[in-house]
Amino acid sequence: MRKDEDKSVEKIVFVIPNMTGGGTERVVALLANRYSARGIPVAVLLFAGNETAYPLDPRVEVMSVGKPSGGNPLVQAARLFKMRQYYRQNKGCQIWAFSAMGAVFSAVAALGQKHFFLVSERNDPARYDHRHIRDLCYRRAKVVVCQTEDAAKSFPAGIRKKSVVIPNPLEPTEEAYFGEREKRIVAVGRLNAQKNHRLLLRAFADFAKHHKEYVLELYGQGELEASLRALASELKIADRTLFKGFSKQVLSEIRTAAMYVLSSDYEGISNSMLEAMSLGIPVIATDCPVGGSRMYIKDGVNGFLVPVGDVSALVQAMERLADEPALGESFGREAVKLRKELATAKIADRFLALTRRES
């Protein structure tokens, strides 16, 4: 897209609960910074917090309109009022909701106003609890961006008609590594039920019986940390399981690891998985809904896909990578090709093209 075309975009407002760390937040930061560098006015509207874990261009406006509501209708009403005020004060701005709840609140807050409204579905649509409310609000959007074809097919026909598939941007801050790998197995993601770290812990406990030199490193925070620590103790791997917390330099910390494991029950597209692949780390991922892993992992060519919840299959994949270092290097050299395919500039152009097509 040409620079003069960028000037026709009045303002892009990304709507997201918070920016405390995670794949969606990382994508928003990459796109916001890219557009800001092009001279497009950009804002990030946070409706359930005020922290920003990822660096943003100083020209990016950050606006917080509320705190986590916990279902409190008064907090939600105050949030809606502030959002409506913000949209009214920024006439002509484009609303890009990067969460289902952000789309719901924005659809209500912008009633009667004229804004280009884009929704980016970031997860498995079938997992949302209040689908009838979500779908009603998604129908108000001009376009619904999905990460995979399977995600798009999960919606009713009216929403499918306005759906397009655009993958996550990829902008690794570290060079790929192809030297001797350290005996570390790493995973990056929130410590919640979706990521199914319990599967990974059970697989590692089995794997570790014959690979005693390896450690497992879990990067991320979440409500299940205490129970996962307890499970590690129960499995007698507590001394070899390191809970690393959230790290802003996670790519530099995992770059030389022996393998990266994504054990999720469901995902949109795991940004951390793509970043691990871009570093040349051999990757194992569950072939989980809604198909994000299989979009980019060619099983046995640039990584391993294993069935969701299958401890035995995960152990076997881990053992192959541990016992066949040449295979892991081959995976990594194939995987780094994603750097070019998913460059942020390309993905940013695809999103902006939608505003021309649908306006």
Question: What is the DSSP code string of 314-343?
Answer: HHHHHHHHHH-HHHHHHHHHHHTTHHHHTB
Q: CB under 8 Å to 330, separation ≥6 — which residues?
A: none
Least confident of 2-11, 43-52, 77-86, 286-295: 2-11
User: When comparing pLDDT for 20 and 296, which is higher?
Assistant: 296
What 3-state class would DSSP assign to 146?
strand
Q: Do domains 3-169+343-358 and 182-340 have the same CATH topology?
A: yes
CA 282 from chain centre, in angstroms, equals: 19
* CATH number of this structure's domain 3-169+343-358: 3.40.50.2000
Q: What is the pLDDT of residues 213-271, one digit of tens each?
A: 999 999 999 999 999 999 999 999 999 999 999 998 999 999 999 999 999 999 999 99
The CATH number fitting domain 182-340, selected from 1.10.460.10, 3.40.30.10, 3.40.50.2000, 3.90.1150.10: 3.40.50.2000
Q: Where are the domains of the chain?
A: 3-169+343-358, 182-340
Q: What is the pLDDT of residues 47-104, one digit of tens each?
A: 999 989 899 999 999 999 999 999 899 999 999 999 999 999 999 999 999 999 999 9
Does residue 301 have a cis bond before it (omega within 30 degrees)? no
Q: What is the pLDDT of residues 15-62, one digit of tens each?
A: 999 998 888 999 999 999 999 999 999 999 999 999 898 999 999 999
Structural contact between residues 305 and 299, judged by C-beta atoms closer than 8 angstroms: yes
Q: CB under 8 Å to 253, separation ≥6 — which residues?
A: 219, 244, 247
359 pLDDT band (50/70/90 cuts)?
A: very low
Distance CA(195)–CA(241), nearest Å, equals 16
**Mean residue pLDDT across the chain:** 95
Distance CA(62)–CA(83), nearest Å, equals 13
Supply the pLDDT for residue 27.
Answer: 95
Distance CA(313)–CA(202), nearest Å, equals 12
Model pTM score: 0.88
358 pLDDT band (50/70/90 cuts)?
A: very low
Structural contact between residues 42 and 12, judged by C-beta atoms closer than 8 angstroms: yes
Please count the CA atoms within 13 angstroms of the CA of 234 that sit on its side-chain side.
Answer: 9
Sign of CA dihedral 287, 181, 190, 192: positive
pLDDT > 60? residue 187: yes
